[in-house]
């Protein structure tokens, strides 16, 4: 399935980044990223996948109820292990109906529920991951320029296709 392949590519790129970065640089604040770290962006990204996994058990997906687990953002080995676990879990999942729970109120937790599905939320997680990978790439270039990222790291597939079609058009 295309979704599984897209998700696996994203997760492998994240795992590769974590493998290459030093523990110190993983936790180092980036002035360009308003003082946030590569580890914080990675934690934020993978916690969305964890929320989706939890939703498979409860039937309700709620990205607001993330753990904000500092162990993930401060220990690259824990982060790497969780990425590997998510890859295995995604490989074994089939689509099913779920409920998405969202809240856009600051004053209270008045959640709205919407019907969704595992595949739809996996698409959201892929897009969300690509967005944060683009941000991570900026931080990596500043803090850890020794890391070799794939040229498509943090770039949406639609953008890659567009860039390729522009190259074809230009070369004609």
In this predicted model, what pLDDT tens digit does every residue of 93-143 receive, in sequence order?
889 999 999 998 788 878 999 999 999 999 999 999 999 999 999 999 999
102 phi, psi to nearest 5 deg: -130, 155
pTM (two decimals): 0.90
The whole-number average pLDDT for the span 37-64 is 97
Residues 6 or more apart whose Cβ sits within 8 Å of residue 115 = 97, 98, 99, 100
Domain membership of residue 144 as a residue range = 2-171
Q: Domain count of the chain?
A: 1
Structure tokens at 143: 């803090």
pLDDT band for 2, please (50, 70, 90 cuts).
confident
pLDDT band for 48, please (50, 70, 90 cuts).
very high
Alpha-carbon distance 38 to 117, whole Å? 30
The tens digit of pLDDT for each residue in 81-105 reads 999 999 999 988 889 999 999 998 7
CATH code of residue 123: 1.20.120.450
């Amino acid at each position: 399935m295309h979704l599984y392949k897209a998700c696996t590519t994203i997760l492998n790129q994240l795992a590769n980044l974590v493998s290459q970065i030093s523990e110190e640089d993983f936790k180092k604040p980036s002035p360009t990223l308003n003082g946030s770290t590569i580890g914080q962006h990675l934690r934020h990204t993978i916690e969305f996948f964890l929320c989706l996994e939890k939703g498979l058990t409860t039937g309700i997906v709620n990205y607001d109820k993330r753990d904000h687990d500092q162990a993930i953002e401060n220990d690259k080995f824990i982060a790497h292990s969780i990425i590997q676990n998510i890859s295995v879990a995604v490989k074994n999942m089939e689509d099913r109906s779920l409920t998405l729970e969202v809240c856009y109120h600051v004053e209270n937790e008045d959640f709205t529920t919407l019907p969704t599905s595992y595949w739809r939320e996996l698409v959201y997680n892929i897009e969300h991951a690509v967005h944060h990978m683009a941000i991570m790439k900026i931080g990596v270039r500043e803090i850890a320029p020794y890391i070799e990222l794939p040229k498509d790291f943090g770039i949406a597939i639609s953008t890659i296709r567009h860039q390729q079609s522009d190259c074809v058009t230009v070369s004609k």
